């Protein structure tokens, strides 16, 4: 709908308060208690919609698409046709192109309050938009399913042509509070015993590499800063998620713990991969309440299809056929430990 304006909506269940805008389905604020019951906002972001619209920051809090992450040289071939995408992060296409899903205004299809508040956003991506084939109907629903849990359900239906689809939620988390400095002291566990190594342009080579004995090994809990100096600017890598413990049909992807507040985030998903990113390119961005966000001031847990999967035959396919439904669910379970 053309008359939709970017607005900020609130989901509040008395314990958590989440603010989300229909501009890119972006989480702008996420307040939850620490071990003493003190609330803090644990996501990087801005007080109003303008900085998001102007892309002051790299994808803070948004849903990115039609295809998250990098597509090599902005090119792919599907069903015999060649497609060229905007090269918005030279030499590749990143997170859907110049005007990806993160910067379009979605329609608010449903907004419910009460003990399980939820909001559903809808977007119709037209054939040829940012170079992608076919019309795509997308919905995203955020629900506070319990006092300390939020669920995100992303769905997309290809209406008339096969198309790659891989959505990701790009929130930058800092469990100590968005304005508390870097996340190097927070500990992370990732249920991924392999990563997809990348070339000099941060595109996967196609190899699937065991993390054992490398600085990428988070199979047991360790501090983000423990070996970050061994991986260049920081972590920005796709983990191949293992099929381990499940909850509601979703696999355990990651666990983050903040020692100062005792806040814990357990993330569950049905996606095959997860980009673990440590805000390597965030540099002096002025955010909420004048907070200044520097390098490593947050971490992203972007569950996703593998980067550049459309050009890598050995990666799980991200192609959706006409009439098929793409389904991607994330469960953010918070606790105090």
Known binding residues: 69-70, 170-172, 236
Q: Return binding residues for beta-D-galactose.
A: 69-70, 170-172, 236
91, 201 Cβ separation under 8 angstroms: yes
Give the integer Cα–Cα distance in Å for 295 and 182. Answer: 7
Of the residues 129, 130, 302, 333, which is catalytic? Answer: 302
Residue 302 designated active-site: yes
188, 256 Cβ separation under 8 angstroms: yes
The DSSP line for 52-68 is HHTT-SSSTT-EE-SB-
Least Cα distance to 315 among 238, 250, 254, 243 occurs for: 238
Let me know how long the chain is. Answer: 337
Placement of tokens 């999967």 in the chain? 309
Look up residue 316 and give its DSSP letter.
P
Of the residues 95, 170, 237, 296, which is catalytic? Answer: 170
Give the integer Cα–Cα distance in Å for 305 and 318. Answer: 6
Q: Residue 51: enclosing H or E segment and its boundaries? A: helix 50-53
Percentages helix, strand, coil for the chain, rounded to the nearest 5? Answer: 5, 45, 50
Give the integer Cα–Cα distance in Å for 145 and 208. Answer: 35
State the distance between the two ends of the chain, measured CA to CA, in whole angstroms: 44
Instruction: Give φ, ψ of 32 to 5 degrees.
Output: -150, 155
Dihedral of the alpha carbons of 58, 238, 324, 82, in degrees to the nearest 10:
80
Give the integer Cα–Cα distance in Å for 68 and 85. Answer: 13
Question: Which neighbouring-strand residues pair with 51?
Answer: none
327, 154 Cβ separation under 8 angstroms: yes
Give the residue numbers marked as catalytic. 170, 302
């Amino acid at each position: 709908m053309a008359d939709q304006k970017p607005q900020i909506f609130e989901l509040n269940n008395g314990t958590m308060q989440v603010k989300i805008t229909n501009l890119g389905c972006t989480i702008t604020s996420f307040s939850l208690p620490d071990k003493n019951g003190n609330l803090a906002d644990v996501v990087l972001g801005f007080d109003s919609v303008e900085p998001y619209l102007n892309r002051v920051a790299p994808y803070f809090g948004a849903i990115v698409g039609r295809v998250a992450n990098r597509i090599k040289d902005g090119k792919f071939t599907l069903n015999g046709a060649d497609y060229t995408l905007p090269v918005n992060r030279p030499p590749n296409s990143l997170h859907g192109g110049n005007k990806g899903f993160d910067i379009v205004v979605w329609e608010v299809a449903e907004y419910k309050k009460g003990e399980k508040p939820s909001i559903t956003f809808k977007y119709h991506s037209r054939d040829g938009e940012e170079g992608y084939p076919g019309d795509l109907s997308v919905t995203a629903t955020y629900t506070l399913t319990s006092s300390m849990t939020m669920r995100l359900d992303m769905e997309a239906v290809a209406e008339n042509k096969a198309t790659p689809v891989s959505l990701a939620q790009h929130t930058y988390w800092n469990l100590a509070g968005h304005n508390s400095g870097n996340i190097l002291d927070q500990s992370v566990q990732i249920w991924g015993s392999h990563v997809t190594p990348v070339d000099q342009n941060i595109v996967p080579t196609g190899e699937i590499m065991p993390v054992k004995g490398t600085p990428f090994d988070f199979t047991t809990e360790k501090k983000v800063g423990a070996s970050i100096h061994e991986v260049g600017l920081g972590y920005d890598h796709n983990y191949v998620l293992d099929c381990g413990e499940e909850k509601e049909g979703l696999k355990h992807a990651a666990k983050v713990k903040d020692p100062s507040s005792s806040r814990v985030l357990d993330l569950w998903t049905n996606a095959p991969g997860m980009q673990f990113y440590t805000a390597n390119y965030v540099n002096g961005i002025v955010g909420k309440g004048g907070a200044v966000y520097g390098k490593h001031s947050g971490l992203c847990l972007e569950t996703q299809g593998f980067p550049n999967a459309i050009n890598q035959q050995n990666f799980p396919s991200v192609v959706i056929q006409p009439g098929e439904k793409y389904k991607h669910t994330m469960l953010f379970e918070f606790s105090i430990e």
